[in-house]
Amino acid sequence: MRYEGIVRLARVALFLGAAAAAGAAAAAEVQFQWGVRIPLRDGVELNATLYQPREQPQPLPCVFTLTPYIAQSYHDRGMYFAANGYVFLGVDVRGRGNSQGEFTPMLQEARDGHDVVEWLARQPYCNGKITMWGGSYAGYDQWASAKEFPPHLATIVPVASPKPGLDYPMSRNMFYSYDTQWLTLVAGRAGQEKIFGDGAFWGAQFRRWYEAHAPFKELDRYVGNPSPHFQTWIAHPAQDAYWDSFNPTPEQYAALSLPILSITGQYDGDQPGALALYREHMQYGSEAAKARHYLIVGPWDHAGTRTPKAEVAGLKFGQASLLDMNALHRDWYDWTLKSGAKPEFLKDKVAFYVTGEEAWRYAPTLDAVTARREAWHLDSVAARANDVFASGDLRRDQPGRGKPDRYVYDPLDTSSAQWEMEDYENALTDQRGAMRAGGDALFYHTPPFAADTDIAGFFKLSAWIELDQPDTDIAVSVHEVKADGTVVFLAGDAIRARYRQSLREARPVRPGAIERYDFDRFSFVARRIAKDSRLRLAIGPVNSMYAEKNYNTGGTIAEESGKDARTVTVKLYHDAAHPSALSLPLAAASSVAAKK
């Protein structure tokens, strides 16, 4: 089974920001200066490119991007904002581009971001109101800077922000092979975009490591870039104080008072981080601060959160999805920094796009996008759930009554490498993985829906599972299967069994014990399920050259190799005593429509 919930989307969810699709500002309207030096508290100087309106009679609010991707990559954004009444700076992070110091991914940006804000506030072209622009890494470092409380940071707009330790460089405590690819992109001082973007090269290196059954800790050497950062990361395989140090604490969330606009996408690989940061602010923030935090969840992938496109990985969206993100940022900055009008698009605190309906809806909170939940119970006849065509059932009337289903996973099986090397441009509508599972996964289908049905929010799966080994990795995914047999990937989740109860504490499985596994970290989805469509639930092993390999022993995963491998039998129960069920989030009507 392809690791659809995490690995497939992680291939799309690159930290590298997409080139701006900004309208070209007339060169005569903007002046810029390269090589501006910004001193930090420890004497290190960062390099910046400064963009200003050519006619600037008075100080203006300042926008800056703090990036490891070389400041010139944001030239189009700088030209846009300088042509629209703002001073903009593209700033190379410490140790990258022409900035001094040593680059330590993500960990350095909090203090450095604070210092850039306060240095800007002292410049003659700045009126003391500072904000930040950017997505992915540049979304994360907005949160990192904000938690240091620079007095002149007036607002942030974190887009597609990862939450270190939660969704990058690992998800559910499972690392990605992609980590080594990204670390190569930001190795040294110059950009490594050509090497980074050579998918065939990376696929070949990951396959070589995968088929050798080598330990995950050796992957950086296999790809040709031994990395101390990679080794540091994998030395922290669970949520701990190291990962906590990157992110705001409850006390820091409580003290945040600035207005925030969070943006992510349904197919953004960093959606889990973006929504976790949003939810934690909603949990710990003051009532006044929460009232000034808005959230947008579009249908986009990672790059689309900055430059939306009408098609992502084979799935097409309506014209309404193509927000002008530069204009939205400008309107937000005008509102929060220049006392302008509130952006017209923000009709309530949460805006979410419903694919299939191809329209935006609104809700006062993220939880309020879901009107109610509907339980669908897993069942099968004669334990025949291993084939995508002769599958098990998802039924509404009662808990399942059949015997437990099972699949057997041998971590020495590397047959998936061949088809993982194939082109997956239409990853969201491709079902080759399901067709090739060949008994190595479990499938369950609903009956055809009698009418169009809108879902919005988060699937949840409670599954009663028995293992005969101390550990394994289990991935789950939900698809819409249309009447013509085509599919749309909706959302996925995964659990490393030792962390089934807590991401902070490993608890080996007792072989033979039947336990409830709660898959409760599905990605957000909002879609109109068409009449006569069915839903497909797939459950299977994480066995991919794009993921850290778990050899099922319960030992130190990053250090284990093929010689440690144990075949595991996974049994899934669905009877009255073990009512395994998929919970569907049925969408609420738009709060804006309800007020009319």
Q: Does residue 585 carry a pLDDT above 50?
A: yes
pLDDT computed for residue 302 by the predictor: 97
Nearest-angstrom CA–CA distance, 582 and 21: 40
Copy the structure tokens of residue 246: 């990157």
Q: Judge whether 156 and 269 are in contact, CB under 8 Å.
A: no
Q: Quick one: pLDDT at residue 438?
A: 67
Cα angle at 228 between 222 and 229, to 5 degrees? 100
Beta strand 359-363 pairing with 45-53: unpaired
Q: Looking at residues 37-58, what average pLDDT do you find?
A: 96
Task: Collect all residues with Cβ–Cβ distance below 8 Å to 378 and sequence separation of at least 6.
Answer: 392, 393, 394, 400, 444, 463, 537, 572, 574, 580, 581, 582
> pLDDT band at 434, cuts 50/70/90?
confident
Identify residue 377 by its one-letter amino acid code: H
pLDDT tens digits, 468-516: 999 999 999 999 999 999 999 999 999 999 999 999 999 999 999 999 9
Residue position matching structure tokens 């596994």: 517
Residue type, 18: A
Query: What pLDDT score was predicted for residue 503?
Result: 97
Q: CA-to-CA distance for 493 and 523, rounded, in angstroms?
A: 7
Mapping DSSP to helix (H, G, I), strand (E, B) and coil, where does residue 49 land? strand
- How much of the chain, in percent, has pLDDT values that exceed 70? 95
Give which of 407, 541, 529 is closest to 476, Cα–Cα.
541
Contact present, 154 and 120 (Cβ < 8 Å): no
Nearest residue to 231 via CA among 563, 559, 499, 7? 559
CB 41 within 8 A of CB 148: no
Give the pLDDT confidence score for residue 400 in this predicted structure: 85
Query: What's the pLDDT at 398?
Result: 86
pLDDT score of 5 more than 70: no
414: pLDDT strictly greater than 70: yes
* Alpha helix stretches (DSSP H) within 226-372: 228-234, 241-244, 250-255, 271-284, 287-290, 325-337
Going from the C-alpha of 561 to that of each of 213, 287, 586, the distances in angstroms are: 5, 51, 44
pLDDT tens, residue by residue, 190-242: 989 999 999 999 999 999 999 999 999 999 999 999 999 999 999 999 999 99
Show me where the domains of the chain are located. Answer: 4-163+247-346, 164-245, 372-591
Kindly state the average pLDDT of the residues 301-322. 96
Tell me what percent of the residues of the chain surpass a pLDDT of 90.
88
Question: Are 354 and 454 a contacting pair, CB within 8 Å?
Answer: yes
Judged against a pLDDT cut of 70, whether residue 23 lies above it is answered with: no
The answer to whether residue 116 scores a pLDDT higher than 70 is: yes
pLDDT, tens only, 560-582: 999 999 999 999 999 999 999 99
| pLDDT for 36 | 98
* Cα dihedral 411→517→548→177 (10° resolution): 130
pLDDT in tens, 84-115: 999 999 999 999 999 999 999 999 999 999 99
Q: What would the mean pLDDT of 112-139 be, rounded to a whole number?
A: 98
At residue 402 the predicted structure's pLDDT band, cuts being 50, 70 and 90, is: confident
For the stretch 456-473, pLDDT in tens is 999 999 999 999 999 999
Per-residue pLDDT, averaged over 428-450, amounts to 89
Burial of 94 (0-12, 13-18, 19+ CB in 10 A): buried
Asked whether residue 2 carries a pLDDT value surpassing 90, the answer given is no
Task: With H, G, I as helix, E, B as strand and everything else as coil, classify residue 196.
Answer: helix
Interval 124-139 mean pLDDT? 97
* Per-residue DSSP letter, 176: B
Burial of 145: CB neighbours in 10 Å, binned 0-12, 13-18, 19+? buried
Q: Number of H helices and number of E strands within the chain?
A: 17, 26
Mean pLDDT of 258-275: 98
Distance CA 68, CA 109 (A): 10
Residue 20: pLDDT above 80? Answer: no
Which residues have C-beta within 8 Å of that of residue 469, sequence separation ≥ 6? 509, 511, 552, 553, 554, 566, 567, 568
Q: Which CATH number fits domain 4-163+247-346: 3.50.50.60, 2.30.40.10, 3.40.50.1820, 2.60.120.10?
A: 3.40.50.1820
Res. 15: pLDDT tops 70: no
The first and second tokens of residue 501, run together, are: 């109860």
How much is the mean pLDDT over the chain?
93
Residue 547 pLDDT more than 90? Answer: yes
What is the value of pTM for the model shown?
0.95
CA distance 287 to 512: 48
Number of CB atoms found within 10 A of residue 286's CB:
14
Model confidence band, residue 188 (pLDDT cutoffs 50, 70, 90): very high
Domain 372-591 fold: Jelly Rolls (2.60.120)
What CA–CA distance (Å, rounded) separates 143 from 244? 13
Instruction: In whole angstroms, give the CA distance from residue 549 to residue 410.
Output: 11
